[in-house]
Structure 1
Amino acid sequence: MSSNDYVIATTYLRLLLNEPELKAVLEDTFGPRYTELFGAEYLTGSQLQPVFEAFSNAGLDSWVIKFGGQLGSETHGPLGFAVLSAPHLKAALKVLTNYSGIRSTAYRSELLERDQRLVVTAIDNTQSDLAGRWLIEAGIRITKRLVENIMTHSCGDHARIRFAYPSPSYAKKLDEYYGVTCEYGADENSFSIPASWGQIASPLSDPGTYRTNLAKCQQLKQAQHQNLSPLETVQFRFDQFFNECHAGTCQPKELPRLECLANELALSPRTFARRLHDQDSSYKKALEQARRKQATDLLLNTHLNIADIAYYLGYQETANFVRAFKVWFKITPTCWRKLSNKTTRYHD
Structure 2
Amino acid sequence: MRASVSTAQDLGMPAIYLHLLAELLRSIGVDEQDLLLRVGLDPARLDSTDLRVSQPQASEFVTRAIIESGEPGLGILLAKELKLPLHGALGTAVMSSRTLGDALELMTRYLTLRVPHLQVRKRENAGLACYQVTCDVDLGPLHGFIMDAMLFGCVSMGAQLTGSVVDGLKILRRGPEPAYFRRFRSQIPVPVEFDATENALVVPAARLAMPVRFTDDQLAASSRAQCEEALRQLTEDAGFSCRVRRVIETSHPFPPKLARVAGTLFVSERTLKRRLQEEQASFQQLVDEVRLDRAGDLLRNSGLNLSQIADALGYADAANFTRAFKRWTGTSPSQYRTQADRSATPAQQALAAD
Please classify the TM superposition score into its range, dividing by the shorter chain length.
0.5 to 0.7
TM-score for the superposition, normalised by structure 1: 0.59
> How do 1:142-221 and structure 2 match up within 5 A?
142-156=153-167, 158-221=168-231
Q: Take 2:84 and 2:64, find their aligned partners in 1: how far apart are those partners?
A: 28
What are the Cα deviations for residues 81-137 of structure 1, in whole angstroms up to 9, with x where unaligned? Answer: 111111211111101111011112141122322231122221023412321211111
The residue type equivalent to 2:88 in the other structure is: G
Name the counterpart of 1:102. Answer: 113
Name the counterpart of 2:12. Answer: 7
Q: Secondary structure at the match of 1:74?
A: helix
> How do 1:1-348 and structure 2 match up within 5 A?
2-5=7-10, 7-19=12-24, 20=26, 21=28, 24-25=31-32, 27-28=34-35, 30-31=37-38, 33-35=40-42, 39=46, 41-58=51-68, 59-156=70-167, 158-226=168-236
Q: Take 2:121 and 2:78, find their aligned partners in 1: how far apart are those partners?
A: 25
Shift of 1:139: 0.8
Aligned sequence identity (%): 17
Q: Which runs of 5+ in 1 are unaligned?
A: 229-348
Cα contact 2:161–2:214 (8 A) shared by 1: yes
Cα contact 2:92–2:220 (8 A) shared by 1: yes
Q: Take 1:55 and 1:152, find their aligned partners in 2: how far apart are those partners?
A: 32
TM-score for the superposition, normalised by structure 2: 0.58
Q: 1:33 to 1:112 in 2, by over 3 A?
A: same
Q: Secondary structure at the match of 1:163?
A: strand
What are the Cα deviations for residues 32-71 of structure 1, in whole angstroms up to 9, with x where unaligned? Answer: 8332695482223322232222123221211223332221
Task: Give the superposed CA RMSD.
Answer: 2.5
What are the Cα deviations for residues 146-185 of structure 1, in whole angstroms up to 9, with x where unaligned? Answer: 22223211225x1111111321111223322322231122
The one of the two structures with greater contact order (alpha-carbon pairs below 8 A, sep at least 6) is 2
Q: Which runs of 5+ in 2 are unaligned?
A: 1-5, 239-354
Between the two proteins, the alignment pairs up a number of residues equal to: 227
Q: 1:76 to 1:125 in 2, by over 3 A?
A: same
Q: Secondary structure at the match of 2:157?
A: helix
Q: 1:28 to 1:182 in 2, by over 3 A?
A: same
Q: Take 1:4 and 1:178, find their aligned partners in 2: how far apart are those partners?
A: 34
Q: Take 1:136 and 1:32, find their aligned partners in 2: how far apart are those partners?
A: 23
Shift of 1:3: 4.0
Shift of 1:13: 1.1
Q: 1:106 to 1:210 in 2, by over 3 A?
A: same
